[in-house]
A = this chain, B = another copy of it.
Amino acid sequence: MASLGSRLVDIHTHVYLPRYAALLRSRTTVPRILTATRDGKPDDKLIILDHDTGRPVGPQYWDRDEKLKFMDRHGIDLSVVSSANPWLDFLPASEAEPMAAQLNEDLEQYCADSPSLTPSLNRLYGFGMLPLVPGISTTALLEAIEQISKLSYLKGIIMGTRGVGKGLDDEALDPVWAALERTGLVVFLHPHYSIEGQWGQKDNGHVLPLALGFPFETTIATTRLILAGVFDRFPALRLLLAHSGGVLPQLSSRLASCIEHDPVVASRLKHDARYYLGKLYFDAVAYGPEELGFVSDVVSRAKHYENNTSVPATATFERGLGSGRMLFGTDHPFFPPLKGTDKWPSVVENLRAIDAVYGWSSSDKDGVRGGNALSLFNLV
Contacts and interface: CB of A to CB of B under 8 A. Distances in A.
A335 interface: yes
Interface in A56-81: none
Contact of A254 (B220, B228, B286, B345): B286
A114 interface: no
Nearest to A264: B205
Nearest to A346: B257
B216 A195 contact: yes
B301 A202 contact: no
A196 B199 contact: no
A191 to B, nearest CB: 11
Contacts of A46: none
Interface in A184-228: 193, 195-208, 210-212, 215-217, 219-220, 223-224, 227-228
Interface string A3-31: 00000000000000000000000000000
Contact of A211 (B167, B223, B353): B223
Contacts of A356: 311-316
A290 B301 CA distance: 9
A298 interface: yes
Interface residues of A, number: 85
Contact of A289 (B249, B312, B338, B349): B312
Contacts of A291: 250, 252-254
Given A224-B208, A289-B311, A345-B260, A197 B200 contact: no
Looking at A311, A359, A360, the one whose CB has the most chain B CB atoms below 10 A away is A311
A338 B196 contact: no
A271 interface: no
B215 A202 contact: no
B346 A261 contact: yes
A358 interface: yes
Contacts of A263: 205, 338
A200 B171 CA distance: 12
A204 B311 contact: no
Nearest to A203: B264
A212 to B, nearest CB: 6
B315 A207 contact: no
Given A311-B352, A349-B311, A353-B311, A211 B298 contact: no
Given A287-B311, A290-B294, A293-B297, 13 more contacts: A195-B195, A195-B196, A204-B264, A207-B255, A207-B258, A207-B259, A215-B250, A256-B288, A257-B335, A257-B345, A290-B298, A311-B356, A317-B359
22 contacts: A195-B195, A200-B224, A202-B227, A204-B264, A205-B262, A207-B265, A211-B259, A215-B247, A243-B254, A244-B250, A250-B286, A254-B286, A289-B311, A310-B349, A311-B349, A311-B353, A311-B356, A313-B355, A315-B360, A316-B358, A317-B358, A317-B359
Interface of A: 161, 166-167, 169, 193, 195-208, 210-212, 215-217, 219-220, 223-224, 227-228, 243-244, 247, 249-265, 274, 286-291, 293-294, 297-298, 301, 310-317, 335-336, 338, 345-346, 349, 352-353, 355-360
